[in-house]
Amino acid sequence: MADEINSTVPRRQLGRHLRQLRTEAAITLDAAAQALERSRQWLWRIETGAGPVRSLDVKAMCELYAVAPDMTEALMGLAAETKSRGWWHAYGEAVPHWFELFVGLEASASRLRLFDESLIPGLLQTREYARAVYQHNSGISEDDLERTIDVRLQRQSLLTRRLPPAPQVNVILSEAVLLRTIGDRHAMAEQLRHLIEVTKLATVSVRVLPFSAGPHRGAVAGTFYILDFPPSGRGAAEPTTVYSESLTGALYLDKPDEVTAYEQVWATLESLARDEGESRKLIDKIIGEIHNE
């Protein structure tokens, strides 16, 4: 697990440091890229933590921004940590470029808060449920389908890992998610039983937002994840990040006002959702109804 923990977060940390230093030097992104004889896109990718960074490039940026030697040395050391490759790189295009960042952040998080109003989240899906979800993608080959499902199931290993400790995973699902049949009835019943089984882990909780809750702020926010991170070896923690996915990309929000807005939505959902015991009873009830159909 070391690679997946030690690649994404250092890239993000280094990118934030370099962006801050450029801003403090009053140098625009375009001006910095021109001075470094690089493209604007290249520099933007470094500052957003989208890829590994060479120590020599960090040194050149620090010279441009007039950074003190000790800080330059520290950032060059951090650059060396950005070259690790997580397990997901072995799956090639089965992991879209825009999703790689999320997989790395998810693996690094100490707490995950998930709200989903349409599907069981990928971390809790069975193979057959995942297959039924992805089969709706037009034009996907059988090989690509299997690799995509394998990636989803491999992500679930973080729920039971020992080192680093498994993250706390708190899930709130709309009641509609439980009633929406994905695949056939047998696959759906198996998925719901898996939901109950996974809540036996001390680090996982699943709560249901009932129809009786009426209109709520989650309906406006849509499906989202809130990721919290442990302190790094350098003391500062990766900032809490909100992840929201669309068909062709994703948003990563970590500005304080953005995070606060989603934290408030989460608090509202928690106040409206059934507790864990009542949620398990509802899931059991729906399983029974599926078998009686």
Taking only the tens place, the pLDDT of each residue in 6-54 is 467 788 888 888 999 999 999 999 999 999 999 999 999 999 888 889 9
224-228 sheet: strands from edge to edge: 204-209, 168-174, 111-116, 224-228, 241-245, 250-253
Residues of the chain with pLDDT > 70, as a percent, come to 90
Mean pLDDT of the chain: 88
Domain ranges of the chain: 2-83, 91-292
And the tokens for 130?
């995942």
Phi, psi of 242 (to 5 degrees): -100, 130
- Alpha-carbon distance 217 to 166, whole Å? 29
- Alpha-carbon distance 46 to 18, whole Å? 8
Q: Given this model, what pLDDT does residue 13 score?
A: 81
Mean per-residue pLDDT for 146-175? 93
Whether 121 has a pLDDT exceeding 90, the answer reads: yes
Half-sphere exposure of 123 (CA within 13 A, CB side): 26
- Which candidate, 110, 91, 122, 94, places its Cα nearest to that of 245? 122
Please give the helix or strand (H or E) that residue 150 lies within, else none.
helix 142-155
**Helices H, strands E: what count in the chain?**
14, 6
Single pTM value for the model: 0.78
Please check whether residue 78 is in contact with residue 63, taking contact to mean a CB–CB distance below 8 angstroms. Answer: no
Taking only the tens place, the pLDDT of each residue in 232-290 is 655 557 889 999 987 777 888 888 999 999 999 999 999 999 999 999 999 999 999 99
Whether 138 has a pLDDT exceeding 80, the answer reads: no
Q: Given this model, what pLDDT does residue 51 score?
A: 80
CATH architecture of 91-292: 2-Layer Sandwich (3.30)
Q: What dotted CATH number matches 2-83?
A: 1.10.260.40
- Which candidate, 150, 128, 125, 261, places its Cα nearest to that of 206? 125
- Of the two residues 101 and 115, the one the predictor is more confident about is 115
Q: Given this model, what pLDDT does residue 176 score?
A: 95
DSSP single-letter state for residue 200: T
The dihedral through the CA atoms of 85, 90, 92, 94 has a sign that is negative
Residues of the chain with pLDDT > 90, as a percent, come to 59
Q: At 83, is the pLDDT very low, low, confident or very high (cuts 50, 70, 90)?
A: confident
Among 75-79, 212-216, 251-255, 286-290, the range of highest mean pLDDT: 286-290
DSSP single-letter state for residue 84: -
- Of the two residues 163 and 173, the one the predictor is more confident about is 173
Please check whether residue 119 is in contact with residue 133, taking contact to mean a CB–CB distance below 8 angstroms. Answer: yes
Q: Given this model, what pLDDT does residue 1 score?
A: 40
The Cβ of residue 166 has, within 10 Å, a number of other Cβ atoms equal to: 17
Whether 2 has a pLDDT exceeding 50, the answer reads: no
Q: Given this model, what pLDDT does residue 5 score?
A: 45
- Of the two residues 95 and 119, the one the predictor is more confident about is 119
Among 69-78, 96-105, 204-213, the range of highest mean pLDDT: 204-213
Whether 209 has a pLDDT exceeding 50, the answer reads: yes
Q: Given this model, what pLDDT does residue 207 score?
A: 98
Whether 149 has a pLDDT exceeding 70, the answer reads: yes
And the tokens for 221?
């926010």
Whether 4 has a pLDDT exceeding 50, the answer reads: no
> Long-range contact list for 265-269, CB < 8 A, 24+ apart?
265/115, 265/217, 265/218, 265/221, 265/224, 266/113, 266/115, 266/172, 266/226, 268/216, 268/217, 268/218, 269/115, 269/172, 269/209, 269/216, 269/217, 269/218
The dihedral through the CA atoms of 108, 201, 225, 259 has a sign that is negative
